Structure 1
Amino acid sequence: MIKSFILAALLAAGACAHAADPYQPQPYVQFQHAEWTRNASIYQINTRQFTPEGTFHAAEQQLPRLKALGVDILWLMPIHPIGQVKRKGSMGSPYAVRDFMAVNPEFGTLDDFKHFVAAAHGQGLHVILDWVGNHTAWDNVLRTSHPEWYEKNRKGQPHPTPWFDWDDIIDLDYAQPGLRRYMTEAMAYWVREAGVDGYRADAAGLIPQDFWDHASRQLRAIKPVFMLAEWESRDMHAVAFDASYAWTWWDGLRAVTEGKADATSLYTYYAWNQKFYPKQAYRMLYTTNHDKNAWDGTEFEIFGPAVDAAIVFSFVSEGMPMIYNGQEAGNRKRLAFFERDAIQWQPSPYEALYKNLLALKKRNTALWNGEWGATMEQVPNSAPKQVFSFVRRNAKDKVFAVFNLSAKPVQAGFSDDLHFGVYRDFGSGETVRVGEGSRFEMAPWSYRILVGTE
């Protein structure tokens, strides 16, 4: 009887599989983004440097300002205690975690952190944590309780990630089922107990993809979360991650502003983004972050006179924009990574620029994230090596964007009729009618963002 039942079940399953049309396209992305991410932008908080006090309590006082600025998702760099053994500098790297289940006393207490998250939620903001799953500090509590969870070198000793200058950390071994369970449950703890809304996964590609796939399912079973991978890979988006880094976009734009490439070199990034990545994928765009600021230079050092164009580009291009704390104050110093080095907050025209860009991103549906927004369509122009021009449009909204990505002035004309229309100029507020024969006089490193009005 049992054998007959099993045979019948197998035959039924086989019949269903055979009946399914193998030529019908299947969705690549197997989850739904949280509704609140559709037009969201990210704001990265380096808690140590964000305020003079460097605490959760002090950061909480800034939440109304961040809400008024227009950001949506607050990404906090690692909040956990930092290792003492082989510590870099006097305060150590936040990415050398000593205990995944505790809070760094430098920032406050667990209750302080919970209060920060609750206050952020009260402002309509969401909070994601930086999760450092690939490695730990040498003196992480797991070294004592589970030494078998660490990778070993030929001498049987734990070791840092090969080739990198990461000698203050040692790598975990994801071949260990116990480690996978521990990490999944630890991430779930902060979602359940502290109310966090997701994670930015540090060095995500150094951890097996199947771990992230399972962990993300467990987290989304608790509540809708947002998952950001510090990596650039299509496969990350199928099950686990809403967003990934657009490293090659940043690298490409830097090469253009340094005179090592022209505007057409960006075509490769956008071709891959449109054809290789699923439409649902969010690609995170930024002009700086904690790594770039500390090790490469500020956005002003990197992009020079093109910095404003680069910032605007990151908001109107296909992608999810990110602001690193202090950019709205025009911060021009490299923030120390292993020491206290508070941001010098001051009035800056960049606050208005970011506020206007965030408002545009939020209200203009063509600029929304992933499949919520509109695909970039190239507008051919008469100076393609200098000028990058495109339209994003849907049934409701339209944006025509033109960037002179060169150190020389240029007069740009456009072909086709994709860009025709009546617009409001993002910079001046003036009404602009664009049609056949329209030409733009573009200063070096300038931009025109025209927002459709009809």
Structure 2
Amino acid sequence: MKKLPVLLLAIVMVFSCKQEKSAKQVSSKVETVETETAQLEPISDSIMETAVIYEANIRQYSPEGTFDAFTKDIPQLKQLGVKVIWLMPVFPISETKRKATGGENSKFASDFPEEEQSKYLGSYYAVSDFTKINPEFGTIEDFRELVAQAHENGIYVILDWVPNHTGWDHTWIKNHPDYYTQNEAGEIIHPKDTDWTDVADLNYDNQDMRKEMIADMEYWITNENIDGFRCDVAGSVPTDFWEQAIPELRKQKDIFMLAEAWEPELLKGNLFDMAYAWDGHHLLNSLAKQEKSLKDFKTYIDKVSNDYEANDILMNFVTNHDENSWNGTVKERMGKASEVMTALTYVLPGMPLIYSGQEYDLDHRLKFFEKDSFPKNKGNTWKLLEQLGVLKQTNDAINGGKNPASFKILETSNVNILKIEREKNGKKLVFIANISDAVQTEKNTLVGTFLDYMADKTVDFKADETIALQPWEYKILIK
């Protein structure tokens, strides 16, 4: 996005003159950022430094549940700093063993009276054909328009790929039963130790299956110009498959690869670019409930430093499709700590995720196997994500890609106060937060004039003065 440096220059000039500018004015600047050409430059490490990723649940994003309904809103996403759209699976869903409910006592659509069965749309992850489009969402032409609109707005598109299993209607079931895991009786089985009874487990000992899987992935790169994949339960697939597949995929195009996994080995070499910060997500939930402390946060940061290499990227999030549907909304899980935890996903090294509806204050658990939707009213969360998106795009101190800004937890006099310092290219940012539901005070160690970014005003700090933070209050301070 070639006009972005102009925005950065404008913001820097405002800060240096100590003039105040409202968040609304900053937002209007973002709206003027335009891609000057429909030819999107190849995805690169430098672009990912400032990226926000958006998970699009096409079925539930709108009352229509179509590509077209989502496509028209893509230009708004760049206001939030979105540079990658991850589309939940867009493929046809198997009719056989189509699920109607989840959990250990889940039921199939066929378990219900015939007149009720049509409302059960099944799991996106029970794929019947990896090279076709789910007619529920529209046509291949509609899909192509979505990709084109994203590219015209400087946004890359990655597909949610399901390599571990297929639905029971997939042609491989009939034509290549040897592609699947079988029991002693020669029967194809669902993935072991799961309740995923609506899918059949793939056998990665079969080299022919591997070749077909790679060919199907290449199809979307070469024929439909997509920019990479988010790979479902990537850690349940042998790592040597990824060592075989990803180099072949990268021969076709520069792509971005996201693993739904935590295993560090999946980020080695030229394999996946980003993995899930699952431990970090669970920690944020526990901090919000005050079940864990900032001592646990420090332990987590140390573990990340030990387990991952400096150029590994982790995806930070307060919600996603699984968390929302099965464990609750952000407000349910985090309550009044929701905003500070969301801000932390931007301040931590890595890439922040926005899930469909989160930007519109999604306040209910979206149904997983049936049609659902949410109202699109731009409230507090939209404003929050817009401000954080501008910061992510314009301040090197929260670069989160393969060349991230430095990260340091600063010492405090209060065990409930978190203070983080990040710095890169002469840019410095301090995040200070009260991680508790009570007022906390801290003996200040900052000296000088800072921009209080979220309040959009300058503040002066003097040595040894005492500062007070309200429950769950935080500040992003820019020197």
TM normalised by structure 1 equals: 0.89
How far does residue 65 in structure 1 lie from its aligned partner after superposition?
Answer: 1.3
Q: Determine which structure has greater relative contact order: mean sequence separation of CA pairs < 8 Å that are 6+ residues apart, divided by chain length.
A: 2
Q: Secondary structure at the match of 2:454?
A: coil
- Is the Cα contact below 8 Å between 1:83 and 1:137 reproduced in 2? yes
Q: Secondary structure at the match of 1:228?
A: strand
Q: Structure 1 CA distance, aligned partners of 2:460 and 2:350?
A: 27
Q: Secondary structure at the match of 2:478?
A: strand
Q: Structure 2 CA distance, aligned partners of 1:104 and 1:63?
A: 20
Q: Structure 2 CA distance, aligned partners of 1:307 and 1:298?
A: 10
- Look up the match of 2:159: 129
Q: Which amino acid aligns with 2:387?
A: N
- Look up the match of 1:87: 98
Confirm whether residue 269 of structure 1 aligns to residue 280 of structure 2: no
Equivalences for residues 41-440 of structure 1 within 5 A: 41-89=52-100, 90-238=120-268, 239-384=270-415, 386-414=416-444, 419-440=446-467
Q: Which amino acid aligns with 2:199?
A: I
- Is the Cα contact below 8 Å between 2:121 and 2:370 reproduced in 1? yes
- Is the Cα contact below 8 Å between 1:46 and 1:76 reproduced in 2? yes
Q: Structure 2 CA distance, aligned partners of 1:148 and 1:438?
A: 71
How far does residue 326 in structure 1 lie from its aligned partner after superposition?
Answer: 0.8
Q: Structure 2 CA distance, aligned partners of 1:317 and 1:244?
A: 14
Q: Structure 2 CA distance, aligned partners of 1:371 and 1:332?
A: 34
- Look up the match of 1:444: 471
Confirm whether residue 37 of structure 1 aligns to residue 48 of structure 2: yes
- Is the Cα contact below 8 Å between 1:37 and 1:226 reproduced in 2? no
Q: Which amino acid aligns with 2:193?
A: W
How far does residue 220 in structure 1 lie from its aligned partner after superposition?
Answer: 1.5
Q: Secondary structure at the match of 2:425?
A: coil
Pair 437,371 (structure 1): closer, same or farther in 2 beyond 3 Å: farther
- Is the Cα contact below 8 Å between 2:444 and 2:462 reproduced in 1? no
- Is the Cα contact below 8 Å between 2:81 and 2:392 reproduced in 1? no
Q: Which amino acid aligns with 2:468?
A: E
- Is the Cα contact below 8 Å between 1:380 and 1:414 reproduced in 2? no
Q: Which amino acid aligns with 2:184?
A: R
- Is the Cα contact below 8 Å between 1:249 and 1:269 reproduced in 2? yes
Q: Secondary structure at the match of 1:158?
A: coil
Gaps of 5+ in 2: 1-42, 101-119
Q: Structure 1 CA distance, aligned partners of 2:477 and 2:248?
A: 43
1:229-261 deviations in Å (ceiling 9; x for gaps): 000011111131111000101111211222211
Q: Structure 2 CA distance, aligned partners of 1:191 and 1:86?
A: 30
Q: Which amino acid aligns with 1:381?
A: T
Q: Secondary structure at the match of 2:249?
A: helix
Gaps of 5+ in 1: 1-31
Q: Secondary structure at the match of 2:352?
A: strand
Q: Structure 1 CA distance, aligned partners of 2:367 and 2:146?
A: 24
Q: Secondary structure at the match of 2:450?
A: strand
Q: Cα RMSD (Å) of the superposition?
A: 1.4
Q: Structure 2 CA distance, aligned partners of 1:222 and 1:245?
A: 25
Pair 421,220 (structure 1): closer, same or farther in 2 beyond 3 Å: farther
Q: Structure 1 CA distance, aligned partners of 2:80 and 2:424?
A: 26
- Is the Cα contact below 8 Å between 2:444 and 2:467 reproduced in 1? no
Q: Structure 1 CA distance, aligned partners of 2:228 and 2:466?
A: 46
Pair 421,394 (structure 1): closer, same or farther in 2 beyond 3 Å: farther
Pair 185,435 (structure 1): closer, same or farther in 2 beyond 3 Å: farther
How far does residue 436 in structure 1 lie from its aligned partner after superposition?
Answer: 2.6
Q: Which amino acid aligns with 1:276?
A: D
Q: Structure 2 CA distance, aligned partners of 1:420 and 1:143?
A: 67
1:371-398 deviations in Å (ceiling 9; x for gaps): 43212111100112x1111100123211
Q: Structure 2 CA distance, aligned partners of 1:213 and 1:411?
A: 51
1:52-100 deviations in Å (ceiling 9; x for gaps): 1111111111111112332110000000000111111210000000000
Q: Which amino acid aligns with 2:253?
A: K
How far does residue 434 in structure 1 lie from its aligned partner after superposition?
Answer: 3.5
Q: Structure 1 CA distance, aligned partners of 2:404 and 2:381?
A: 25
Q: Secondary structure at the match of 2:82?
A: coil
- Is the Cα contact below 8 Å between 1:264 and 1:388 reproduced in 2? no
